Structure 1
């Protein structure tokens, strides 16, 4: 699998660490994905909703199908997020600047494809230019 294949195949994206602040990159990326046909599942314990969509406190509380977990958290939190995604998600996507080898190992050992240190928005923009 490749990041391009992930973007073509999967549409249900849990955005962990999403912000309701419009200038935050998590918000910008999620809005772009939503505007391009993706179903956004906001995950942030400090907000009730994002863009009119119910927000979940963590991945364990998400009660809908998740294909991709797009992570906007510091690297030290990523392994715990990956553990919550086991049996729930097919792909772990760590945004630009987020690198956690342990989390990648845990995800891959549990059958998930991992994208690390790449932006979903930028990768989708490249795909749309093809």
Structure 2
């Protein structure tokens, strides 16, 4: 498996981009963990409904609006990811500044596009 990704804002709803991202990450051989509003299961990946401490997180891919990210700032920093991807609609200048001060890379991009281009 490649580096581990946390999908934040995960959903069991197959029409949600977070759900599609979980499936495509797995298809690319990337280990996935997930946190969402409700517990659930997507392709064998358990969606946790609390701020579970995961280890060895390489990437956090964001599927929460900026205002809903605030309660996760400290949580994400505690995971010490290498990078955070702000998917379309999740851009957050305030959090970008916090990430930069903590030497965590970030990008405003689309996980699904990055995967389709083999640029993830």
The interval holding the TM-score normalised by the smaller chain is 0.7 to 0.9
Change (3 A) 1:83 1:122: same
Equivalence for 2:11 = 19
Unaligned runs of 5+ in 1: 1-9
Instruction: Quote the offset at 1:81 in angstroms.
Output: 2.2
Change (3 A) 1:105 1:46: same
Q: 1:106 aligns with which of 65, 73, 98?
A: 98
Equivalence for 1:52 = 44
How many matched pairs? 117
Q: Distance in 1 between matches of 2:111 and 2:76?
A: 18
Equivalence for 1:75 = 66
Q: Distance in 2 between matches of 1:34 and 1:84?
A: 24
Unaligned runs of 5+ in 2: none
Instruction: Quote the offset at 1:109 in angstroms.
Output: 0.6
Q: Distance in 2 between matches of 1:80 and 1:103?
A: 11
More strand by proportion, 1 or 2? 2
Q: Distance in 1 between matches of 2:74 and 2:103?
A: 12
Query: What TM-score comes out, normalization by structure 1 length?
Result: 0.79
Instruction: Quote the offset at 1:64 in angstroms.
Output: 3.1
Q: Compute the RMSD of aligned alpha carbons.
A: 1.8
Asked if the contact 1:12–1:41 (Cα under 8 Å) also holds between the matched residues in 2, the reply is yes
